Amino acid sequence: MSTKRRQLRAFDLRHLDPNPELIGVDEAGRGAFAGPVVAAAVLVTRSFLESSWVLENARRINDSKQLAAAERDALYLEFEALAAEGRIHAHIGAATVEEIESENILGATRIAMRRALEGIYPPSAFAAPRREPDLFSSPEEIAAFQPPAQARILVDGLPLKHFPYPHTSVVQGDGRSLCIAMASIVAKVQRDRMMTELDSKYPGYGFARHKGYGTEEHREALLQLGRCAQHRDTFLRKLMATRVDPGQLALLGDESNSD
């Protein structure tokens, strides 16, 4: 295992204590001109991090932006197999273009991350401990009791304000934590698939190729065709107002390699 991959695994092992579970959370599509923002949450345990699968394959896992599409797709299939065996748990959440417009991209990212985490644990599982059922508890109290989650949540980036889950923020976490890197791969593969589907619904923009990011091809298509329902108005306001040569829009930047 390379030094870099050992560091990702070691980072997660350090952050497990005293919790038996660790959940990594990351997103894809935050900097795109079109399409949803998608988040993924991946739960791992110490036994998984110490398993032969991780020892043999952790060297292949990295920030999704550093991997070729074929590498991401292959790892995604392996993650699916691990989840089917109960060795990891993974879930995705998405926020729509409408939610991006109404809540801004930061708020929509929080929505997507919350939905991803809800697929693993509800927020109430991280609330203050409640009294466990005892001899005098009613059947209804016993049925309603839910033990608190014993997981630590690592979120890529800065701390999330007004977020229902207690979490630890990890700047550039997709290059530092194994479970966050796994989440970044899941989110990226799922969003790429969504954008490929949108390509057939909205032909001419090249969504299957650039996945909604601000490439020159995408900008040229926007100037020729105008926006579609999957474009984020707040991201395109300057472009569509001026309708100038895409090559002159340096301020918008090329987000083709961004999450």
Residue 179, token pair as written in the block: 């479970």
Does residue 33 carry a pLDDT above 50? Answer: yes
Does residue 245 carry a pLDDT above 50? Answer: no
Average confidence (pLDDT) over 118-142 = 71
What is the structure's pLDDT at 133?
54
* Dihedral sign from CA coordinates of 241, 246, 248, 252: positive
Does residue 125 carry a pLDDT above 90? Answer: no
What is the structure's pLDDT at 256?
43
Does residue 5 carry a pLDDT above 60? Answer: no
pLDDT averaged over every residue in the chain: 87
Lowest-pLDDT range of 92-96, 120-124, 151-155, 196-200: 120-124
What is the structure's pLDDT at 254?
39
CATH 3.30.420.10 domain range(s) in the chain: 3-195
For 89, phi then psi, to 5°, come to -130, 135
Would you place residue 136 in the very low, low, confident or very high pLDDT band (cuts 50, 70, 90)?
low
Residue 241, token pair as written in the block: 């107002």
For helices 178-201 and 69-84, angle between their N-to-C axes, nearest 10 degrees: 110
What is the structure's pLDDT at 148?
64
What percent of the chain stands above pLDDT 70?
A: 81
What is the structure's pLDDT at 96?
98
What is the structure's pLDDT at 235?
84
Does residue 85 carry a pLDDT above 70? Answer: yes
In tens, the pLDDT along 100-109 reads 999 999 999 9
CATH number at 3-195: 3.30.420.10
What is the structure's pLDDT at 237?
78
The candidate with the shortest Cα–Cα distance to 113, out of 125, 95, 98, is 95
Give 110 or 134, the one with higher predicted confidence. Answer: 110
What is the structure's pLDDT at 127?
72
For helices 233-242 and 97-118, angle between their N-to-C axes, nearest 10 degrees: 150
